[in-house]
Homo-oligomer: A and B are copies of this chain.
Amino acid sequence: MNQDLKNDRFLRALRREPTDTTPIWVMRQAGRYLPEYRATRARAGSFMALAQHPELACEVTLQPLERFDLDAAILFSDILTVPDAMGLGLSFAAGEGPQFARPVRNAADIDRLGVPDMEGELRYVTDAVRLIRRELQGRVPLIGFSGSPWTLACYMVEGQGSRDFATLKAMCWNEPALAHRLLDVLARSVAQYLAAQAVAGAQALMIFDTWGGLLGPAPFREFSLRYMAQVVDTLKTNAHARELPVILFSKGAGMHLPTMADTGCAALGVDWTIDLDQARRAVAGKVALQGNLDPAVLRSNPDTIRRETRAVLDSYGNHPGHVFNLGHGITPEVDPEHVKVLVDEVHSYGRTLRMT
């Protein structure tokens, strides 16, 4: 497999095999900091129209690869496509973040939820994956992704973004059986969704657990980690997905890396609040690591970007299994020229590092 790939650094690093330099991609690399993205987004009319139109989704997925020497592409989509396909009605009000027209509030709402049809409501996603794979022509691998069951549930129960997602937390404490029913149908849906992306041509899979870090240690294991592990387990039973590396990323979960590394995933995403040498010791060689430059560094100047980039590379050191990334998504204010500085520094210093 992947024999047609011209650049397999990213997949080799995820398998903790040696590479000529450190591979890099950037969370939200197809995004608002790029003028060409903003132009396509304006043509589409809305964020969801852009995500649901395979040709346009393909176009914005490829845009950052034209500018920068990135080692992976990531499907342009949203983490909340699965609950939207479950009938909750996702929209993005300007500057307001995601909103669901029909949030999930009680047992009846949860009982109504079923695993969406991957070739029905979610066909636009697999169509986009197929189209992007064709257009990539093996330049770099394509990453498919989903929100984690916990993170999907946060938005589904709250109906929108929140500082603390206390509505779902209260359900977990007061009616844990109900919360588990919701998380179980989400874990089954996310697993099928990621498997469908694998069948359509995704070459690695990532689960974004944006809000796992809002939980204390015991609830994190019970309500977030457990269902990511269920997704990974299910993917291992799928003929197409079982060979694909899975990356788990829980923001603010630096203290949970050892338990996360035991799920059977290939790699963990790491935010910038922990040093990579400490993270590497925490996972004891079980998984690769992806991260972890503070995204705010891209809003400083080129000299600082180079220096801080080298510090992240030095922190991981000359070991296999590092995929460079930011510790969180790139923000809209960033100058695209600064991303070029970052990508080029990772590749050039990554080569130097391997000579030490």
When A164-B331, A273-B216, A273-B217 are in contact, do A170 and B299 touch as well, CB less than 8 Å? yes
Does A166 lie within 8 Å of B216, measured CB to CB?
no
Query: Interface centre among A173, A213, A278, by most B CB within 10 Å?
Result: A173
User: Do residues A275 and B170 form an inter-chain contact, with CB atoms below 8 A?
Assistant: no
User: Among residues 207 to 226 in chain A, which have CB atoms less than 8 Å away from a CB atom of chain B?
Assistant: 213, 215-218
In the complex, A299→B157 CA distance in Å? 15
Q: A-side interface residues toward B, CB under 8 Å?
A: 164-166, 169-170, 173-174, 213, 215-218, 252, 254-255, 272-275, 278, 294-297, 299-301, 304, 308, 311, 331, 333
Q: Could you jot down 30 A-B contacts, CB within 8 Å? A: A164-B295, A166-B296, A169-B294, A169-B296, A169-B297, A169-B299, A170-B296, A170-B299, A170-B300, A173-B297, A173-B300, A173-B304, A173-B308, A174-B301, A174-B304, A213-B273, A215-B273, A216-B272, A216-B274, A217-B273, A217-B274, A217-B275, A217-B278, A218-B311, A252-B252, A252-B273, A254-B255, A255-B273, A255-B274, A255-B278
Q: How far is the CB of A279 from chain B (nearest CB, A)?
A: 10
Q: What residues of chain B lie closer than 8 Å to A174, measured between beta carbons? A: 300-301, 304
Query: Taking the nearest CB of chain B, how far is it from the CB of A277, in angstroms?
Result: 10
Docked Cα-Cα span, A331 to B299, in Å, equals: 33
Which of A165, A217, A296, A311 counts the most B-chain CB atoms under 10 A from its CB? A296
Residues of B within 8 A of A311 (CB): 218
| Chain B residue contacts of A308, Cβ below 8 A | 173
| Contact of B164 with A216 in the complex, beta carbons under 8 Å | no
Q: Which 3 A-B pairs rank lowest in CB-CB distance, beginning with the nearest?
A: A166-B296, A173-B304, A169-B296
Least CB distance from A16 to B in Å reads 24
Is chain A's binding surface mostly helix, strand, loop or mixed? helix
In the docked arrangement, what's the CA distance between A255 and B255, Å? 7
Q: Who on chain B is nearest to A304 by CB? A: B173
CA A45 – CA B214 in complex, angstroms? 35
CA distance A297 to B219 in the complex (A): 12
**Alpha-carbon separation in the docked complex, A297 to B170 (Å):** 7
A120 to B216, CA, bound (A): 44
Instruction: Please give me the residue from chain B that is nearest to A274 by CB atom.
Output: B255
Shortest CB–CB separation between residue A281 and chain B, in angstroms? 13
Contacts of A170 in B (CB 8 A): 296, 299-300, 304
A223 CB to closest chain B CB, in angstroms?
A: 13
Contact residues in B for A169 (Cβ distance below 8 Å): 294, 296-297, 299-300
Q: Which one of A166, A216, A252, A278 has the highest number of Cβ atoms from chain B below 10 Å of its Cβ? A: A216
**CA separation between A278 and B213, bound complex, in Å?**
17
Chain B residues within an 8 Å CB radius of A217: 273-275, 278
A305 to chain B minimum Cβ distance, whole angstroms, is 9
Q: What separation, in Å, do the CA atoms of A275 and B219 have in the docked complex?
A: 11
- Cβ–Cβ < 8 Å partners of A275 in chain B: 216-218
Q: A253 to chain B: closest CB distance in Å?
A: 8
A216→B279 CA distance, assembly (Å):
13
Extra A-B contacts (17), CB below 8 Å, given A164-B296, A216-B294, A255-B255: A165-B296, A166-B331, A169-B297, A170-B296, A173-B300, A173-B304, A174-B301, A216-B274, A217-B273, A217-B274, A217-B275, A217-B278, A218-B275, A218-B311, A252-B252, A255-B273, A255-B274
